[in-house]
């Protein structure tokens, strides 16, 4: 019986319950709506746009996705390089001198390629550190988007692999062999992207703009290029920078014999491709790549990654690993080989290290 002798009818009880439910609804509807909104923002709708990977500090980066966008960046940069050269609007100017006193050139091809490559990579992976040979002018920021598609050959050969975004450093060379580019020696020119994880190069992309050839490889992943089947270790063909040919030739012939072949060439990317099985008519073949002076890391990181992925080596002239963190330069020169006794090569060429710091 209700208090004070009031008897509640079944209809009154129903009304009372409905009022109670209404109060509870108003109290908790805001909370539930907020939780639902948070869930919807956290989990992308199937088929809908995803947030860029690596956009939050401490987030994860999928190396397969980063490989895909690195290939696209190298190609897009290469299109700018080719367009400027074929239009003969290089606007070449000196940007400084090398340690050896040679004048370094800067062209419109360098700058436009750099802008395209940098902003494509940055828009896809905003939390990842990107180091480039050329400065990025924020006043000329370009919106370059990636549709998140992965080429079929990468899908088939490479499995997804996530790493912390803060462990990743991307090195881009928007135009390798600028001097040769100004001389219209097109076969030497490449655009390159390298991904290093904790300082170790794990993804390398080398693109030749004037033949549309692209080599890529990922350590413990896959590649679209392979090592050649045979090498000559007793009298190797040694590929070197055009300006270093005389310096290396004398020591190399004393070490390996007079039949040793010295191949002068431009561009670090081209020299690494010379060690591989490349379906390119304008690509020379070599057994060893040697550089005897200081060299920038964006010149060599992509080639180092490709060689590592295929079981090859790129070290300083004394055999030390090259780390892709910290400063942008490598002081110890380099020697690169594949399917050869790398340690024996280093021991045979001890005198070259003495010239690497000059």
pLDDT in tens, 311-350: 999 999 999 999 999 899 999 899 999 999 999 999 887 6
Looking at 98, 143, 147, 178, which residue is catalytic?
A: 178
- Its pTM stands at 0.82
State the pLDDT at residue 45: 35
110 is catalytic: yes
State the pLDDT at residue 44: 39
Is the four-CA dihedral 143, 165, 67, 296 of positive or negative sign? positive
Domain 226-354 fold is D-Maltodextrin-Binding Protein; domain 2 (3.40.190)
299 marked among binding-site residues: yes
178 is catalytic: yes
Contact 278, 239 (CB under 8 A): no
331 marked among binding-site residues: no
pLDDT-derived band at 352, boundaries 50, 70, 90: low
Q: Name the CATH superfamily housing domain 60-223.
A: Fructose-1,6-Bisphosphatase, subunit A, domain 1 (3.30.540.10)
Domain ranges of the chain: 60-223, 226-354
Looking at 110, 191, 260, 315, which residue is catalytic?
A: 110
- The H-or-E segment that residue 248 falls in is helix 245-256
- Distance between CA atoms of residues 89 and 226, nearest Å: 36
DSSP conformation class of 194 = E
- CB atoms under 10 Å from CB of 128, counted, come to 22
- Distance between CA atoms of residues 166 and 249, nearest Å: 43
State the pLDDT at residue 104: 82
- Distance between CA atoms of residues 307 and 16, nearest Å: 78
State the pLDDT at residue 257: 86
pLDDT-derived band at 52, boundaries 50, 70, 90: low
DSSP reduced 3-state for 290: strand
> Best-predicted range by mean pLDDT among 168-182, 222-236, 242-256?
168-182
pLDDT tens digits, one per residue of 97-142: 566 656 788 999 999 999 999 999 999 999 999 999 888 776 667 7
- 83: buried, middle or exposed (CB in 10 Å: 19+, 13-18, 0-12)? middle
133 marked among binding-site residues: yes
């Amino acid at each position: 019986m209700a208090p004070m002798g009031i008897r509640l009818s079944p209809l009154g009880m129903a009304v009372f319950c409905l009022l109670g439910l209404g109060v509870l609804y108003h109290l908790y509807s805001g909370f539930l709506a907020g939780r639902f909104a948070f869930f919807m923002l956290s989990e992308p709708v199937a088929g809908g746009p995803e947030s860029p990977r690596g956009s939050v500090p401490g987030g994860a980066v999928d190396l397969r996705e980063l490989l895909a966008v690195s290939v696209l960046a190298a190609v897009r940069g290469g299109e700018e390089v080719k367009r400027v050269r074929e239009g003969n609007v290089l606007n070449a100017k000196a940007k400084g001198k090398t340690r050896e006193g040679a004048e370094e050139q800067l062209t419109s091809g360098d700058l436009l390629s750099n802008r395209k490559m940098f902003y494509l990579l940055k828009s896809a992976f905003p939390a990842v550190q990107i180091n480039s040979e050329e400065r990025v002018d924020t006043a000329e920021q370009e919106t370059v988007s990636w549709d998140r598609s992965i080429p079929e050959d990468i899908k088939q050969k490479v499995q997804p692999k996530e790493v912390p975004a803060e462990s990743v450093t991307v090195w881009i060379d928007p135009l390798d062999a600028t001097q040769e580019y100004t001389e219209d020696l097109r076969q030497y020119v490449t655009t390159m992207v390298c991904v290093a994880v904790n300082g170790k190069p794990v993804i390398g992309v080398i693109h030749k703009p004037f033949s549309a050839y692209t080599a890529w490889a990922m350590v413990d992943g896959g590649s679209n290029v392979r090592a050649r089947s045979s090498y000559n270790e007793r009298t190797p063909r040694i590929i070197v920078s055009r300006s270093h040919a005389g310096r290396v030739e004398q020591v190399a012939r004393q070490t390996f014999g007079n039949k040793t072949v010295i191949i002068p060439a431009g561009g670090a990317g081209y020299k690494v491709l010379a060690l591989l099985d490349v379906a390119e008519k304008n690509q020379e073949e070599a057994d060893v790549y040697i550089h005897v002076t200081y060299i920038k890391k964006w010149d060599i990181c992509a080639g180092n990654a490709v060689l590592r992925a295929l079981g090859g080596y790129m070290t300083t002239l004394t055999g030390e690993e090259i780390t892709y963190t910290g400063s942008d330069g490598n002081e110890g020169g380099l020697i690169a080989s594949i399917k050869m006794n790398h340690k024996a090569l280093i021991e045979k060429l001890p005198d070259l290290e003495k010239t690497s710091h000059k």
